[in-house]
Structure 1
Amino acid sequence: MVDVNTQFGGFLTTQGAAKKTNCDALGVPWKLTHMLLGDANGADPVPAPGQTQLVHQVHRAPLNQLYASPTDPNVLIAELVLPPDVGGWWIRELALEDEAGVFSAVANCAPSYKPLLAQNSGRNQVVRMHIITSSTANIQLKIDPSVVLATREYVDTVIVEALSKLDYKHSVLAATTANITLSGIQTIDGELLPAGARVLVKDQAQAKENGIYVVPAAGVWKRAQDADTSVEVTPGLFVSVEKGTVNGDSVWQLVTDAPIVLGTTALAFEMVAGRTGVSAGAYTKVTVDKYGRVIAGTTPTTLAGHGITDTYTKDEIAAMIAQASALPVGSMIGFPVDKVAPGFLELDGSVKSAAAYPDLATFLGGAFNKGDEGAGNFRLPESRGEFLRGWDHGRGIDAGRAIGSYQADELKSHDHTVTNTGTGGNDQTLWLYGDPGALPITNPGVKTNATGGTETRPRNLAVMWCIKAWNAPINQGSIDIAALAALAAQATENNQGTAKVATQAQVNSGTDDSTFVTPKKLRFGFSISLATNGYVAFPSWLGGLVIQWGYVPGSLDDLTALISFPMAFPNQCLNVSATAEGAQSGAGTFVGVGLQKVSVSQFRMNGYGTGMATSGYHWWSLGY
């Protein structure tokens, strides 16, 4: 009971106490949801357990907070915030309703007037109701925040509690990449860290030293304030790294499980977001770590590169297609129309290029050659107008035949019996022998007539016999074999074809007319120096001519010099000539220069004369 003469307070009503007892027995939570305010008609109310309503209710609203008193677990505190636009009445009595509308608790309070904004005096007012109960254990201390107003104290408390539950620490300036000495100003991951900078230390040889530190101006590093106790270093905490060549713009997570004793437990951090060293781009094969990050990427061009082992390689497939495309090279097919299928040639006895049909040339060899096919060619067998017969091959029916050989037509030897009635009335039987050695027919009553055509043959269908010449790929389209054969022939001035690149020896000899010269071989042996003292040297296949020139300064009277050619003649110096350069200085003018070939590398020059001031001599020379 509450002694209203000495204090204000409240308690559960009889209905409320019964409701709580029933909820405790059923093991279900009891939900108090609304607060009721009244002015008791201006009187000082005395709350009673049997009350089912307030003396005079003026307001009803959802609770802002419902919590157990931090000083007494048997006291329940209910809180209601009244906004400025609610009021205009006195508050002398309070009550609580549960979610079923049961009048559950009642209390009185010191009279307080709640002004209304329309009365030019508006304010937020907090009303708290303290209810004495035997226990708050089964009362649901939960309020819907979407329907209530919050006090600043409430908001601050909630924010602090929420932040204390977060595992995300303040960011660090850099993160280590190797074991370091935990003292003094240092450069970490390419960043010179100022005093006060936060650092993630994660690579220590002693993993218990890992953690978040602050760089001091001097001396030993200390752990950061938010990570210097065991309760602050929780499993799964995150920390962002701001800068660094390797670890800049990354997020790291502590993957060590509880319990953690700071300074004793080995701490392990792993990157969960950030650069992995894989360049931006599209890859057909990637490697992903346990966090779903791409840590490697390649673009293989083979099945093996993709790790596919239950298939064939390109070469194996090509080989199988070649073997499976229709029939093998050398097979003979009879076509009932005047068309040759791709991959076939008509067996017409013609000559073909081995370069155009290498597989067929290898298969037939020279079995049907007559000797006039020419180099690099082979002849097809002739099938036009011929019947095909199986090779005897030791059976003895058509003995002595070589495979692929021709056989003339022949009529098998046979007899004819002719019965004729003679004059005596008796039948006379004559034997007509196909054998030229048989007895001649002497009975004049016998007569035979010749019948038949020019050959012995069965009924037949005319076909064009063709031979498989190459393995045409599926859906390869039309191939002009005649055009291919021409392209495979030796190229000449008049015919397009193929030719190989000449060797340097062939170029130098200048006698071969079936090869081509490349720019490199064309330039080989040619050299030039376009200087005051220079030369032009032609390649040996152009005769090897060498022309050299130069200038020798000096006066007419004192010129005697041994001159070196800009380059030594490969074989011989043929001629050296020179002319003087200068101006006439007297009536009589005579200038001369003496030249003497010394070797393929040098010549001697002597200048002399009168009446002319010379300044030098120009010379030139021929050789090879």
Structure 2
Amino acid sequence: MATKYLALLTNIGAAKLAKATALGTKVEITQLAVGDGNGVLPTPNPAQTALVHELRRAPLNMLTVDPANASQIIAEQVIPEDVGGWWIREIGLFDKDGDMVAIANCAETYKPQLQEGSGRVQVIRVILIVSSTEAVTLKIDPAVVLATRQYVDSQLRAHEQSRNHPDASTTEKGFVQLSSSVTSDSESQAATSKAVKIAMDNANARLAKERNLADLPNPALARQNLQLGNSSTKNTGTTADTVAAGDDARITGAMQKNQNGGDIPDVAKFLQNLRLGVGAPAIGIPFFWPSSAMPNTVMTEWADMVFLKFNGATFSASTYPKLALVFPGLTLPESRGEFLRVWDDGRGVDSGRALLSAQLDAMQNLTGNIGDAQTSVNAAVKFTIASGVFSAVTGVRNSIGNTTIIADTPNNPSYVSFDASRQARTSTENRPRNIAFNFLVRAK
């Protein structure tokens, strides 16, 4: 009897297999198609590029080398029970390029579908004899292929009987050892329910970040431990018992930094509390200045101040009220060309002086006498003197005036006195012209 059912490579398939064998590449068979041959059992023709009447094409489930014959390749596809309603008479295998590389016919079989009241899972298997099974490979999508119950059962039995499984890791599945430790950092062990419970109990005793500290059991103690004051319990605002926020102008009584102190309500009191004077220098305190230009034209920080010279000029109390407190006479002493002298203030060195009183220059007085030596003869001696610091001093009977003295007895000598105060200002000290000032020092 002649062969009625057969499977063979198409011309395209034979050429691709020969090329893959020569180049060391592979023919990737990906899909299997079935058809009904238009109602007639067809005879496979190597020249065919398609089935006579294709009804379904789907990915292969498996492509393996026959364990009993190394030259045979078994291609298999599972058709589920909800697909059918037609006869199967022809089969085609297709590669990744969509070319039909093998063709076969089979005994006519009807594939029912469930809507017809009967259904079955149909396994289509094609066995090819090829010259090199290494040149054929299978590329399948595990998401769309089906497996028979028999195949699954056999695989499970093999799995159960095998202990050749890799250990699990962070990158690969496999066997894993259980552990109840909650302190281990192992990446090759799995936590037991006990370990999970301990971890959960510990977690329940901790704060939940999504609660935003609302689950603190003792907020007051927490604030104390964080060394926070009672401001942490107050709201920001402008009313009593609230906390100021930055330099918000709405806060009652807040000074604004952009005012540079211009919003201080009582500047004098502010300076007093800081123990500072009202200016630099303070109003009414004399000081030395090394330039003919006024300080307010030299020092920009003194630009809003007014300076007057001690030149004997008067000033207005309404214009300079604070200066009038220091100089109630409304006249600044004439100090140009004068020396300054510290006020005696009861010491007794410069007695009788008043503050700001002027004093002319003076020198200590020089006194002395000019006269003849005592004579032993009764002869007249005549002195003629000029006016000024000199003055004649004689015996009573021989005094004839302030300019001429005649001494005519040895026991009554005459002489001329010298007194500088008759022409110059004298004092108990030598001094220049000066003005008295009271010098003070701040002690607190």
TM-score range, shorter chain: 0.3 to 0.5
Question: TM-score, normalised on structure 1?
Answer: 0.32
Over alpha carbons, which structure has the higher Rg?
2
Give the strand-richer structure, 1 or 2: 1
TM-score of the aligned structures, taking structure 2 as reference length? 0.43
More helix by share: 2
